[in-house]
Structure 1
Amino acid sequence: MRLAGMRLRQRDGVSCGPAVAVVARAMLEPAHRLAGTGPADLAWFAAEQARVHGRVNLLWPRALGTTPMGMVAAIGAGYHWRLWRGLWRRRDPLDDVLAAVRAGKPVPMLVGRVIPRHWVLIVDVERDELRCYEPSSGDVRRVTAADVRSARLTGLGYPWAFAFVLPPRGLPKG
């Protein structure tokens, strides 16, 4: 799925998680593929974000966004979440994240500053460079794994990773 140029944007200020979940599902499941960027496609994308947001935030207030558990529920497919292991020690090797993306599985990443605030989706990796779908702009932006490890992210809205939502190990390439 080619995201660059599609300009798939989150529908409001708290829909980054649902936008990321919809794009991740489209990458994982042929039945959820995004057709294009025409008015009907963009209307479907906005409606699907609202549907996902309502489904995964039954107890959590929507105004506070989507929790890692909510992201897991939205994507399904055996995904699970884990914390970034570098806040104090900056020692997260990201091996599981890089392996998943190299295997064709998108990885949602929760970023923020002091508190988690925004979801982005790691959609590709080449060497040590991650390509991330950033839903507030609809762009695909590049960061390095070193930037993630050292909490110096730029272009994604916030500098620190807080959590990753990962597929189960050993799945065939999607």
Structure 2
Amino acid sequence: MRTVCGLARAVQVLVSRGRGAPAAGAAVSPLTGGRRPLLTDRLGEQRRGGARLDQVDGTTCGSAVLVALSAWADPAEVAHLDGETGAVAAGAGAGVAAGFGARWDARQKQVHAESTRFWPRALGTSPWGMTRWLREHAPAAGPYRVRLVDDASAADVAAVVVEVEAALSSGRPVPLLVGAFVPRHYCMALSRHDGTWRVYEPTSAQVRAVDPALIARRALRPLLGFDHLHAVLLPE
């Protein structure tokens, strides 16, 4: 049985067939500039300033992913969370002040409000709200687009795995939208190691090793909380 996004993707493919869509896995340009990421791709719990980097409540998984993605691309985001003033200090751990956890939680709530202007906040953030927020508030991350996934189609799953891995190979994180019949939860693929994806899961604040073969088997639940991949946000 197809998911909601799987049905939408199947229709999308039928409508677009023959239009000469770009080949899956086209090269993705790496971003230039300094890096001062909030997350690492080290397996296990992610912490900073004495705080777990988890989502602040049940509706802010997308917001946690957006803040982490913004911080990956823009050192000023991390400087704000660290409580720094003036110039950004050198080094990933410099300037981390007391109160990081409160700033991390407040920033998620702010991003949630900004990314759900046209969407009920109780439902979390739509994937189009995610890409709009990145475009308007995190230009350093580069534009992203929504790519729906039909995980009942082996061909579509194979294509999206190639597309995600092309982005990861260029150092570009990829937000993942997972769920049951309907989409429910955001995570973010950070990198690829030994055939698995290192994925940040914001409920647990952990980075986990996810075998992309689990997508076709519809068996992501033990690692990401839900079995089905509904969509990915791909860098343009």
TM-score w.r.t. structure 2 length?
Answer: 0.66
Cα displacement string for residues 142-162 of structure 1 (whole angstroms, at most 9, x for unaligned residues): 111111233211211101100
The answer to whether the 8 Å contact 1:90/1:150 transfers is no
Paired position in structure 1 for 2:147: 82
The answer to whether the 8 Å contact 1:28/1:105 transfers is no
Secondary structure at the counterpart of residue 113 of structure 2: helix
Secondary structure at the counterpart of residue 88 of structure 1: coil
Which range moved further: 33-42 or 115-124? Answer: 33-42
The structure whose residues are more often strand, as a share, is 1
The count of corresponding residues between Structure 1 and Structure 2 is 167
Looking at structure 2, the residues matched to 115 and 88 of structure 1 have their Cα atoms a distance apart, in angstroms, of 14
Paired position in structure 2 for 1:127: 194
Paired position in structure 1 for 2:34: none
CA displacement at 1:38 relative to structure 2 = 6.1
Paired position in structure 2 for 1:96: 163
AA in 2 matched with 1:141: R
1:24-39 map, 5 Å = 24-33=69-78, 35=82, 39=98
Residue 162 (str. 1) matches residue 226 (str. 2): no
The answer to whether the 8 Å contact 2:152/2:216 transfers is no
Looking at structure 1, the residues matched to 219 and 151 of structure 2 have their Cα atoms a distance apart, in angstroms, of 11
AA in 2 matched with 1:87: D
The answer to whether the 8 Å contact 2:151/2:215 transfers is no
Looking at structure 2, the residues matched to 132 and 38 of structure 1 have their Cα atoms a distance apart, in angstroms, of 27
The answer to whether the 8 Å contact 2:187/2:201 transfers is yes
Paired position in structure 2 for 1:40: 99
AA in 2 matched with 1:99: A
Paired position in structure 2 for 1:109: 176
The structure whose residues are more often helix, as a share, is 2
- Which runs of no fewer than 5 residues in structure 1 stay unpaired? 169-174
Secondary structure at the counterpart of residue 20 of structure 1: helix
Residue 136 (str. 1) matches residue 200 (str. 2): no
CA displacement at 1:99 relative to structure 2 = 1.0
Looking at structure 1, the residues matched to 188 and 225 of structure 2 have their Cα atoms a distance apart, in angstroms, of 13
Aligned partner of 1:65 among 108, 124, 131: 124
Secondary structure at the counterpart of residue 71 of structure 1: helix
Looking at structure 1, the residues matched to 98 and 233 of structure 2 have their Cα atoms a distance apart, in angstroms, of 30
Secondary structure at the counterpart of residue 81 of structure 1: strand
- Which runs of no fewer than 5 residues in structure 2 stay unpaired? 1-36, 83-92, 136-141
Paired position in structure 2 for 1:171: none
CA displacement at 1:125 relative to structure 2 = 0.8
AA in 2 matched with 1:163: A
Which range moved further: 155-164 or 75-84? Answer: 75-84
The answer to whether the 8 Å contact 1:21/1:75 transfers is yes
1:69/1:100 CA distance change after superposition, 3 Å: same
Runs of 4+ in 1 over 4 A off after TM superposition: 34-39
Cα displacement string for residues 51-88 of structure 1 (whole angstroms, at most 9, x for unaligned residues): 1111110121100011010111222321111111x332
CA displacement at 1:128 relative to structure 2 = 1.9
Secondary structure at the counterpart of residue 198 of structure 2: strand
Paired position in structure 2 for 1:118: 185
